[in-house]
């Protein structure tokens, strides 16, 4: 073999080695290789980093500004032990807030960071509606289909619209549907974990001081919490800025018929005060082992509208009963007669729920 030929072979060998090194190393450095199937062959371009993507999405998350803040009344009610029998104070925290003025009428641990369970899903839906159209179809992932324990039984590979998934997330508190929403946003923008970053960016843009998310569902975690104050703020924000949320949380039931994209679903709203407490309009209940039973409920009577947030109740019945009593207490300050909801009324409501246990 001549020296000239040997040099040519060495050049080819070195070029191939360098090419192989670049193919392996560059993707790990965040650089995308544009292949021969691309419009421009052989050129490399940097992939947008997660931080760059979230920065581009922040204007979307800030389009609906929050100007609502809570203020403590100079005549803040102390819960009378004779009226409440001391039961309210079993919970971790609560707040009764005037929906329009932000006046805090009753509270315990108003700003304390506490597990909130599936009340999280209100912020999940708010964030998703900022970043997707309600009619966009989301392909169900296996991760979503495998979610436990509260689920409607979404099927991997089937498709559901964001609006359909929102109904499932807010009515039945379906973890599988909620995970599908988070996956749908991640897939749309091509960045795994982007949705949780967006939820936290949304919370920051709203001025929530004691709120942090590390999942879309409300699962227990040291890095996942909120406070009665922040929950009251984002509850009102959701209802006043997103007509879809306001309409969904009022419903007792929604039926999603089978179509070419997915099977049928029966969606029951497991908010025990709907149709029981006069003027109740939602919004979201929850439960986890750490958070215990939680609720954010809104009711309107005689022109007065209140938000009640309750975190850490020991059971479903007590959560709903005590929330009703707190509503009575708040409305009573405006001279509105107490509804005096009974345990039996709530138990009768629970019996109407198919699939509930």
What secondary structure letter does DSSP report for 22?
A: H
Alpha-helical (H) ranges within the chain are 3-28, 50-61, 81-84, 120-131, 142-145, 162-171, 175-189, 194-205, 228-241, 243-249, 316-332, 343-350
Q: Is 173 one of the catalytic residues?
A: yes
Given the residues 115, 141, 161, 173, select the one marked as catalytic: 173
Quick: pLDDT tens for 137-148: 999 999 999 998
Is 251 one of the annotated active-site residues of the chain? no
Helix axes 120-131, 175-189, angle to 10 degrees: 30
Q: Does residue 136 or residue 355 have the better pLDDT?
A: 136
pLDDT of residue 88: 78
State residue 89's pLDDT score: 83
Q: What is the distance between the alpha carbons of residues 32 and 304, in angstroms, rounded to a whole number?
A: 57
pLDDT tens figures, 10-20? 555 565 565 55
Residue 308 has pLDDT above 50, yes or no: yes
- Which one of the listed residues 92, 115, 121, 318 is annotated catalytic? 121
| Domains defined along the chain, listed by start | 3-47 (no CATH), 57-350 (3.40.710.10)
Given the residues 118, 141, 161, 296, the one annotated as active site: 118
Q: Taking 50 as the threshold, does the pLDDT of residue 85 lie above it? A: no
Say which residues have a Cβ less than 8 Å from residue 16's Cβ, sequence separation at least 6: none
Mean confidence (pLDDT) of the chain:
87
Distances (CA, A) of 134 to 30, 223, 242: 32, 29, 11
Per-residue pLDDT reduced to its tens digit, 106-154 = 999 999 999 999 999 999 999 999 999 999 999 999 999 999 888 999 9
What digits encode the pLDDT tens for the residues 189-223? 999 999 999 999 999 999 999 999 999 999 999 99
């Amino acid at each position: 073999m001549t020296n000239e030929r040997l040099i040519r072979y060495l050049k080819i060998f070195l070029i191939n080695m360098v090419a192989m090194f670049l193919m392996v190393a560059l993707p790990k450095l965040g650089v995308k290789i544009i292949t021969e199937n691309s419009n421009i062959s052989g050129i490399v371009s940097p992939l947008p980093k997660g931080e760059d993507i979230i920065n581009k999405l922040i204007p979307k998350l800030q389009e609906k500004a929050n100007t609502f803040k809570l203020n403590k009344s100079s005549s803040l009610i102390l819960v009378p032990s004779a009226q409440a029998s001391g039961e309210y104070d079993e919970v971790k925290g609560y707040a009764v807030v005037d929906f329009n003025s932000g006046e805090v009428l009753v509270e315990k641990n108003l700003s304390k960071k506490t597990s909130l369970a599936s009340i999280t899903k209100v912020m999940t839906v708010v964030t998703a509606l900022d970043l997707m159209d309600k009619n966009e179809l989301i392909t169900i992932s296996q991760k979503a289909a495998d979610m436990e324990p509260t689920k409607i039984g979404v099927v991997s590979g089937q498709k559901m619209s964001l609006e359909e998934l929102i109904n499932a997330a807010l009515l039945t508190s379906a973890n599988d549907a909620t995970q599908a929403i988070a996956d749908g946003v991640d897939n749309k923008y091509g960045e795994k974990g982007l949705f949780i970053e967006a939820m936290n960016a949304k919370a920051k843009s709203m001025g929530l001081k004691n709120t942090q998310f590390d999942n879309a569902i409300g699962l227990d975690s040291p890095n996942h919490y909120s406070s009665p104050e922040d929950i009251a703020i984002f509850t009102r924000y959701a209802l006043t800025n997103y007509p879809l949320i306001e309409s969904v949380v009022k419903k007792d039931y929604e039926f999603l018929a089978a179509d070419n994209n997915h099977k049928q679903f029966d969606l029951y709203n497991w908010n025990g005060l709907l149709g029981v407490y006069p003027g109740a309009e939602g919004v979201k209940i929850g439960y986890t082992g750490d958070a215990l039973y939680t609720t954010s409920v809104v009711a309107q009577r005689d022109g007065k509208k209140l938000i009640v947030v309750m975190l850490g109740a020991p059971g479903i019945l007590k959560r709903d009963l005590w929330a009703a009593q707190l509503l009575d207490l708040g409305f009573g300050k405006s001279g509105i007669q107490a509804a005096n909801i009974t345990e039996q009324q709530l138990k009768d409501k629970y019996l109407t729920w198919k699939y509930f246990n």
